[in-house]
Amino acid sequence: MAANGDEHDRTMAFAEIALGQIKALRQPATPRNFELWYCYATGYHPSLNEAVNRILSRSGNLSDADIEMIHGTYLSPLRISERIDSVGDRVVDEIEQVMAMVDAAVGSTSTCSENLAGVSRHIPHADREGLRGIVESLVQTTKEMENINSRLEERLVASKKEINQLQENLEVMRHESLTDPLTSLANRKYFDQALVEAIAEAKADNEVMSLLMTDIDHFKTFNDTYGHLTGDQVLRLVALSVKQNVKGQDIAARYGGEEFAIILPNTALRSAVTVADHIRRAVMSKELMKRSTGEHLGRITISIGVATLRAGDNAQSLIGRADACLYAAKRTGRNRVICETDPELAMRPEPVAAVA
């Protein structure tokens, strides 16, 4: 019951912040606006917050178009594939409009060329008045071509700008489709692709590579005791500790639930164990505190398994060995790092006697 009461207080606090933003910006209190500002208040979607802050710093408010864009990009229930198809259709439509204008310009150029050809035939036989008419005709034809070219240039510039914006939207959606929204780490889909590529590159270049598999200790108990919002806070805290202890070429991902995975290219086993222990210590050093009440919730710990690439490995076998090390760390006391050369990996739990 206490956990439910805490969640009530937290969610009401987020709701009050959302309503405060709506009041401050004098926006309609529609469900869509409230959803946007509630999500902003929670901080669960950093990309959304960055987009909102960028627009606010530029114009001081969010227009209906801005809200539509943010909602469509970050909160829309449409699947990523549907949104990409939608943007693709817009690109095709834009190209078709440009091609139609180019065809029209080509037609106008042909007409002008015919006019010029007709003029050239009349010049040898023209008197003074005739020449004057020919010159006026040439001036008129030149102006028409200038107007056509000017309109075409304006349309091409506008289309280039529109297509560039659509390309940016596609890149945002591509990034979103490969990112875990809660932690801002890579998601499982990206991890699976990256691990296969990292293994192939390591074998091709004859380089070492290691993999860390991480799990938060007693996370379910913590989640059940303090509520899912605090559980989300724990996940973000672990993700932050991971980010602060990996290099640019390393790939950190939320593997699933409370599990994280880190790919370490060009990293031998002992160096990987050092990285893992830095992450473990970073997590353990942070004490959780409930923002609404100031209550200290204690510290969390993680267990980590470390494996290094072998000649016959594929993604599944490497993950399997790192997982075995992780569960050995769990089995032998938690809050520790176990690699595949540690003696604890060979230990087996005592068989449990059957209960009559």
Beta bridge mates, 260: 214, 254
Order of strands, sheet of 259-265, starting from the edge strand that comes earlier in the sequence: 251-256, 259-265, 209-216, 302-308, 337-339
Beta bridge mates, 304: 214, 337
The whole-angstrom separation of Cα 241 and Cα 301 is 12
Q: What angle do CA 58, 32, 171 make, to 5 degrees?
A: 55
Residue 287 annotated to the active site = no
* DSSP structure string for 185-232: SB-HHHHHHHHHHHHHHHHHTT--EEEEEEEETTHHHHHHHH-HHHHH
Q: Are strands 337-339 and 302-308 parallel, antiparallel or unpaired?
A: parallel
Do residues 252 and 243 touch, judged by C-beta distance below 8 A?
A: yes
Do residues 137 and 115 touch, judged by C-beta distance below 8 A?
A: yes
CB atoms within 10 A of CB 179: 19
The whole-angstrom separation of Cα 212 and Cα 262 is 5
What is the longest distance spanned by two Cα atoms in the chain? 124
The tokens for 56 are 């606010």
Beta bridge mates, 213: 261, 305
Q: Which residues contact 343 (CB under 8 A, 6 or more apart)?
A: none
Distances (CA, A) of 236 to 58, 255, 354: 29, 14, 41
Question: Residue for token digits 């950190």?
Answer: 252
Given the residues 96, 129, 162, 258, the one annotated as active site: 258
Helix (H) / strand (E) element for 17: namely helix 2-24
Q: Which residues are designated catalytic? A: 258
